[in-house]
Amino acid sequence: RKEVEQDPGPFNVPEGATVAFNCTYSNSASQSFFWYRQDCRKEPKLLMSVYSSGNEDGRFTAQLNRASQYISLLIRDSKLSDSATYLCGDKAAGNKLTFGGGTRVLVKP
């Protein structure tokens, strides 16, 4: 079983709509979680860290559900510029940082 799994999508989202997707992780001892954004042919860049209490950054909200071992990302009022691949990262003990396969989001006018 993969350590981190994501729905590959694509999620086709009308501009202005809300989209949400999850990432499941298999290691119950995982300590830290992240959402990264990756544009085509570019390196991943941190979108936000995911805290136990959940966190919000503008139109983006991340949640962690330890009982069910998943994290989520919600994007409100989607912009065309939100089109990208979103990678879920899981940092386990020993600082081993693994990623899921990514979820592709396409925001359309």
Residues near another protein (CB under 8 A)? 3, 6, 8, 31-32, 34, 42-46, 49, 51, 87, 89, 91, 94-102
Compute CA distances 15 → 62, 76, 78, 101, whole Å.
Answer: 20, 10, 5, 24
As given in the structure block, the two tokens for residue 11 are: 């999620």
How near is the Cβ of 39 to another protein at its closest, in Å? 12
Nearer to another protein, 6 or 78 (CB): 6
Nearer to another protein, 16 or 90 (CB): 90
Nearer to another protein, 94 or 109 (CB): 94
How near is the Cβ of 87 to another protein at its closest, in Å? 6
DSSP 23-68: EEES-TT--EEEEEEE-TTS--EEEEEE-TT-EEETTEEEEEETTT
How near is the Cβ of 104 to another protein at its closest, in Å? 8
How near is the Cβ of 99 to another protein at its closest, in Å? 4
